[in-house]
């Protein structure tokens, strides 16, 4: 700004305008961060299946061959079915009890939520590491001629 522009203005006017601009930019930045956090959190939220029979009135079926030994799979965005050892099947809600994200990664001994890294047992659904504090809801699994049926417990 030239010296000429400052003539006739009260002292401190330029500084006040800069401060006002910086405060406005700070508020806008905070709003952007909060807005993106809300969007990410809502992307993780989901409703758990109803407890009527485990999945809102319907059982789920999956070929036993689709559940890898030493791992597991998510079925219908509702269940996670695990097979830690050959022929040993377990089923739980695929919805993390922390903030409702879908669990995705299954190893022989743990189910991991991608949102905040909560880990659950593949045989009991119990919390191994938080931030989740509640276990995954457990469902019964039956095997009939190579087809697994998951139903409410």
Q: Please give the model's pTM, rounded to 2 decimal places.
A: 0.61
Residue 127: domain span: 60-151
In a domain, 34, yes or no: no
Q: Between these two residues, 77 and 35, which has the higher pLDDT value?
A: 77
Decide if 119 is inside a domain.
yes
Nearest-10 Cα torsion for 116, 119, 122, 128: -160
* pLDDT computed for residue 35 by the predictor: 45
End-to-end CA distance of the chain: 74
In the predicted structure, residue 47 carries a pLDDT above the cut 60: no
Residue 48 lies in a domain: no
CATH code, domain with 68: 2.102.10.10
Is 105 contained in some domain? yes
CA distance 11 to 28: 28
In a domain, 52, yes or no: no
Is it the case that residue 43 has pLDDT exceeding 70?
no
Question: Would the pLDDT of 118 be above 90?
Answer: yes
Q: Is residue 131 domain-resident?
A: yes
pLDDT of the residue at 23: 63
Mean pLDDT value across residues 79-95: 90
Question: Rounded to the nearest 5°, which phi and psi values hold at 21?
Answer: -65, -45
Cα dihedral across residues 71, 110, 73, 65: positive or negative = positive
Confidence of residue 28 (pLDDT cuts 50, 70, 90): low
Rounded Cα distance between 118 and 112, Å, is 6
Looking at residues 20-42, what average pLDDT do you find? Answer: 50
Inside any domain, residue 73: yes
Contact 138, 91 (CB under 8 A): yes
Count of domains for the chain: 1
Higher per-residue confidence, 105 vs 54: 105
Residue 43 inside a domain? The answer is no
Can you tell me whether residue 121 is helix, strand or coil?
strand
Q: What does the pLDDT read at residue 52?
A: 38
Strands 127-129 and 71-75: unpaired
pLDDT of residue 82 exceeding 80 = yes
Q: Which of 47, 57, 53, 88 is nearest to 71 (CA)?
A: 88
For all residues of the chain together, what is the average pLDDT?
A: 73
């Amino acid at each position: 700004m030239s010296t000429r522009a400052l003539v006739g203005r009260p002292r401190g006017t330029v500084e006040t305008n800069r401060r006002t601009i910086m405060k406005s930019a700070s508020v806008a930045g905070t709003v952007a961060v909060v807005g993106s956090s809300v969007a990410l959190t809502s992307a993780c939220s989901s409703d758990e299946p109803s407890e009527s029979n485990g999945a809102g009135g319907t059982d789920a079926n999956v070929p036993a061959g689709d559940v890898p030994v030493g791992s597991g799979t998510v079925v219908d965005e509702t269940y996670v079915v695990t097979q830690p050892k050959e022929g040993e099947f377990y089923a739980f809600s695929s919805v993390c009890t922390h903030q409702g994200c879908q669990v995705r990664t299954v190893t022989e001994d743990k189910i991991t939520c991608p949102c905040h890294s909560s880990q659950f047992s593949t045989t009991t659904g119990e919390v191994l590491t938080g931030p989740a504090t509640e276990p995954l809801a457990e469902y019964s699994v039956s095997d009939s001629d190579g087809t697994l049926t998951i139903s409410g417990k």
